[in-house]
Amino acid sequence: MSQQKNAVEVEDIDHAIQQLSAVHVETPRDEGARAAFGRLLTGEGCGLSPRFLPNIRETRGLAVVGEPGSGKTSLVRHILSGETGLNFGGDIGSTKCLHVTVPSPATLKSVGLEILNALGYRQVSERRERWAIWDMVKHRLSMLGIMVLWIDEAHDIYNSGNAREKEDLLKTLKSLMQGPQAIVVVLSGTEPVAELLKLDEQASRRFAKVRLRPISVASDGDGLANLVTTYANRVGLEAECDPELVQRLISAAREQFGMAIEIAIGAIETALRSGRSELTRQDFVDYWFMQAGCPLEDNVFATGNYAS
């Protein structure tokens, strides 16, 4: 009987953590990113379509740039999901938005093959010429009525180190944004995404840039403390979230919002699995020990000199 009870409790905890992880926290940066994306489309619902420049069959794109853990992927996914006319996440044939992650190594051919795979072409030979692969990409995007192509982890293109590949890929992306079947391209990744666009002035001009800035105690401390408390209360925990704990949390997260949320949820899960009724600093200490495997004197939530 006790084993059955424990199994139910574990299932309840798993469900609670999944629900917390699925919550998107609205911040001021959402408004700016949503406004930038909104300028790329026109209409609404079934009438949604890419916005073309006046007198030119050409669209514009969006680059969302942030450090690892900033929450850029979550932000883009939330914005795309909010456009009902895109049916983001739907099956091929019904969705109007395609999401791909840059493969490694990132080459013009590998990115093209990854897009074809997402479009349902899974048996395309790698021996095909690059131009043939991208002709297939353009044809398939047009045939399925894809309006938005979201390329995540786009910094890997810049990090590939091959200047010719970078230039060719930028030219190819520009070609997707031109002509009667032009689409909107969204890039997300770390700072090299911005550096990639700088390699081509025309490409850079075509993309609006949204940078996700680091968080700080001064500007975000109170909001983060309230958020951690709200999350804890939602799963039945009392919360002890003093200013020093918030400072430690921001330091552990390397001043990145998404990572701070991830750590807070990890600490909440630690408290729940320990059978405690209150979220305390010790739960952060224990979670960080499991994540970083560092000795107590190096644990950012336990050491006196946590800023270092």
The pLDDT confidence band at residue 308, using thresholds 50, 70 and 90, is low
Specify if 14 maps to a domain.
Answer: no
pLDDT > 70? residue 191: yes
Q: Are residues 168 and 231 in the same domain?
A: no
Instruction: With 0.85 as the threshold, say if the pTM is over it.
Output: yes
Q: Are residues 205 and 74 in the same domain?
A: yes
Q: Are residues 174 and 240 in the same domain?
A: no
111-138 residue pLDDT tens:
999 999 999 988 788 788 999 999 999 9
3-state SS string over the chain? CHHHHHHHHHHHHHHHHHHHHHCCCCCHHHHHHHHHHHCCEECCHHHCEECCCCCCCECCEEEEECCCCCCHHHHHHHHHHCCHHHCCCCCCCCCCEEEEECCCCCCHHHHHHHHHHHCCCCCCCCCCCHHHHHHHHHHHHHHHCCCEEEEECCHHHHHCCCHHHHHHHHHHHHHHCECCCCCEEEEEECCHHHHHHHCCHHHHHHEEEEECCCCCHHHHHHHHHHHHHHHHHHCCCEECCCHHHHHHHHHHCCCCHHHHHHHHHHHHHHHHHCCCCEECHHHHHHHHHHHHCCCHHHCCCCCCCCCC
Q: Are residues 55 and 171 in the same domain?
A: yes
Q: Are residues 83 and 169 in the same domain?
A: yes
Host domain of residue 131? 28-211
Q: What is the pLDDT of residue 3?
A: 42
Specify if 127 maps to a domain.
Answer: yes
Specify if 308 maps to a domain.
Answer: no
Share of the chain above pLDDT 90, in %: 73
Q: What is the pLDDT of residue 8?
A: 45
Last residue of a domain, one of 154, 178, 211: 211
Q: What is the pLDDT of residue 231?
A: 95
